[in-house]
Structures are given as structure tokens and as C-alpha cells.
Amino acid sequence: MKTVSLNKYVDTVVILDQTQLPGKETYLYLTTPEDVWEAIYHLKVRGAPAIGIAAAYGIYACIQQVKTSSYPVFLEEFQKIKNYLATSRPTAVNLTAALDRMEKVVVSNPQKNIPEIKQLLRMEADAIREEDAIACRQIGKNGLSLLRSGMGILTHCNAGHLAVSEYGTALAPIYLGEEKGYGFKVFADETRPLLQGARLTMYELQKAGVDVTLICDNMASSVMQKGWVQAVLVGCDRIAVNGDVANKIGTSGVAILAKYYGIPFYVLGPTTTIDYSCPNGKSIAIEERKAEEVTEMWYTHRMAPTDSKVFNPSFDVTSHTLITAIITEKGIIYPPFEIGLRKIYS
């Protein structure tokens, strides 16, 4: 399955609607800025790299509707769409990074005619996707080098191929290990309130034949205490320069448990998730979402009293002090993280 692709014959973004999984595989066709924004905001496409790819293909598809031969008019319309799409999921750095790359194509080519610029935009979007696919494969190889056959692995949220172009980030070593006969035993947190672990990680790993067991988020301590977990693998939406990491809500709690039980806690992600303008986790804007996701989504009947106060952050920040290593396509980074992260940048 392709999570995000471009139908190049009609310049339409095609996404697998992840809100419909695991019940049915439904593909959506996006042509307008509103289509793309809604798909990203409502998590029909999700995962930091996949969001970036969707944004790149999305702005390319949307700009096809701008019919002008004037470069200033084209640039103005492009930037309007870019600024609008950037508001859909502000925490994931890949969204703005992909949009910035696409904008650079337009800004750097004022001498070209509009059809030529549009062609360059499509090539840039293709490059963003291909670079992610290459990165994910290498992340998997680097991560697998730290694991042993038969290990118990706990993961949180979904960082598999549904969240990227291929393989995934945190799940990439598991897929490669499965291909090589490592026989991992995976525990997938359900990941409240949107259940990405239950709906998506379980769906993916079961289809791949991986030995995977679903647990509620509050059962992580129990399986660790029993000695069933020897490593934790999670993805990331943004990495600060000091090594603090923003990821799906609940990740920091898993990291604290892993530290207590002496279990390695690995963060896996492409270097595109490193935000060199962000000094630490306190600088990361955390998206807050609607109360309905907690009180009634997935339920036949509302599960909280009417007018209940709800705090529903989509992400939390895991301190660099809780992270064993950050695994990227360019290598494995150990503390002190700032030195390793800046070395990658240089």
C-alpha cells in the first residue's frame, strides 16, 4: 500500500485514509487546498514524513489551478496556499520543511515560465518522497544493529510504513528483522485517544506476520516489570538541538518507565525531523486538539459527563536525559546529543 502518492495524469494527491483503518482500505483524492488541509488536520494522512510528502504533493496539485503567466501573481498565490497548509499540523517539522523546499523552487526560478516552474515543483515533491524512502531503509539498518534475535520490543503510536513512504522509522528495524528471521516479540501501546497503535501498528505488523501483542497504554509498566521488553522503539515529530524530542502524547511516560526499568529507549527518525532553530523541548509548540477525541470518539455513547473539561495535547516532549540514542539515516547519535546533531548539520 502507498500511503501518499501523486496521480500524475490528473495532478491529484492520492492518500490512504488512515481514519478508516483497520476496517477498510479507502483511498481519497485531493485537489484543493481545503482537501489537503482537512486530510492532514483530521489525520487521514499522518506521521511526520508522510505529512511532509502529502504537503509537497498537495501544494503541487493545488497550484495547478492557478492559471496565470505572471510570475509575481503565481508566487503570491503559491505563498497563500503554503501559509494555509502550514497551519494544519504545526508540531511536525516535516510539514513546514517540505513546504519551504517547495517554496524555494518557486523563489529561485523567477526567470522561468510558469509551466517550467510547475514541472520543477513536481520533481521536487518526487525527490522529497524518494529521499524519505532511502532514509527509512537506512534507519532500519542502523536500528537493527542495536537489536538481538528474539528481543521483546515495545512501541508507541505508529511509526511504520503508514507514517512514511516505505518501511517506517521506529518499525523499520522490526520489518528488516522479520525479513532476516529475528523473531521479535512486539508490544504495541494502543495510544490513546486516537488509537494509532491499536488501529495502525497492529494492522501493519499483523499483515507483515510479526508476533505482536496489543496492550493498553497503562499496561506498559506491567510488561516491562515482567521482563518481556528489552528495548523501546519510538518515532518522532520534532527533535530539538539538545536532543529533546516531541512525539505522540504518552511517549514521555514510556521513556520514564524505560529509564526506571533499565530498558534502552531509542528514538528513530530521519534527519528532516531535526529542527536546528529549536534549542530545546520548551521551544516546541504543542498542538491541542478537540475534546471530542477523548470524550466520545470511537464510543457508541459518550463516555464522559457533558461539559467535562478536557486537556487533549497531541504530543508531549521527552527529555534528552531519558533517551538512550537517536537513530537517523546518517548514523546513531548518543549523548551528548547536541554534539552529534550539530555534526550531522555540518
Three-state secondary structure of 235-273? CCCEECCCCCEEEECCHHHHHHHHHHHCCCEEEECCHHH
Q: Is the peptide bond before 336 cis (omega within 30 degrees of 0)?
A: yes
Separation CA 124–CA 173 (nearest Å) = 28
- The conformation of residue 285, written as its DSSP 8-state character, comes to P
Q: Angle of helix 71-85 relative to helix 48-63, nearest 10 degrees?
A: 150
Report how far Cα 245 is from the mean position of its chain's Cα atoms. Answer: 13
CB-facing half-sphere around the CA of 106: CA atoms within 13 A: 23
35 catalytic per annotation: no
Residue 56 has pLDDT above 90, yes or no: yes
Instruction: Kindly state the helix (H) or strand (E) to which residue 92 belongs, with its residue range.
Output: none
Sign of CA dihedral 245, 248, 253, 259: negative
pLDDT at 153: 98
Separation CA 32–CA 37 (nearest Å) = 9
Residue 296 has pLDDT above 80, yes or no: yes
What are residue 325's DSSP bridge partners?
Answer: 266
Cβ neighbors of 119 (< 8 A, separation 6 or more) are none
- Say if residues 29 and 13 touch (Cβ distance below 8 Å): yes
pLDDT at 97: 93
Separation CA 244–CA 82 (nearest Å) = 28
Q: What is the CATH number of domain 146-345?
A: 3.40.50.10470
The type of residue at 24 is: K
- Tell me the average pLDDT across 42-56: 93
- Say if residues 343 and 332 touch (Cβ distance below 8 Å): no
Range scoring the smallest mean pLDDT among 84-93, 112-121, 228-237, 315-324: 84-93
CA distances from 47 to 193, 235, 247, 340 (A): 16, 9, 10, 24
pLDDT at 10: 87
Per-residue pLDDT tens for 162-219?
A: 988 878 999 999 999 999 999 999 999 999 999 999 999 999 999 999 999 999 999 9
- Domain ranges in the chain are 4-136, 146-345
- The Cβ of residue 86 has, within 10 Å, a number of other Cβ atoms equal to 17
Separation CA 158–CA 160 (nearest Å) = 6
What fold is seen in the domain 4-136?
A: Four Helix Bundle (Hemerythrin (Met), subunit A) (1.20.120)
pLDDT at 8: 83
- Say if residues 295 and 310 touch (Cβ distance below 8 Å): yes
220, 226, 228, 230: CA torsion to nearest 10:
80
Q: Which backbone phi and psi does 309 adopt, to 5 degrees?
A: -70, 135
pLDDT at 211: 98
pLDDT at 346: 78
| 345 confidence band (pLDDT: 50, 70, 90) | confident
Residue 115 has pLDDT above 90, yes or no: yes
Report the percentage of the chain scoring pLDDT > 90: 92
Same fold, 4-136 and 146-345: no
Cβ neighbors of 107 (< 8 A, separation 6 or more) are 75
**Catalytic residue of the set 189, 217, 237, 316:** 237
Per-residue pLDDT tens for 123-156?
A: 999 999 999 999 999 999 999 999 999 999 999 9
Grid coordinates representing 90 are: 504545526
Backbone φ/ψ region at 19: left (φ over 0), alpha (ψ -120 to 50), beta: alpha
Three-class SS state of 329: coil
Across the chain, mean pLDDT equals 95
The type of residue at 31 is: T
CA distances from 255 to 121, 180, 220, 241, 307 (A): 40, 28, 10, 19, 33
Grid coordinates representing 258 are: 524505560
- Say if residues 263 and 253 touch (Cβ distance below 8 Å): no
Nearest to 333 by CA among 245, 260, 258: 245
- Tell me the average pLDDT across 56-69: 95
Residue 1 has pLDDT above 70, yes or no: no
| 265 confidence band (pLDDT: 50, 70, 90) | very high
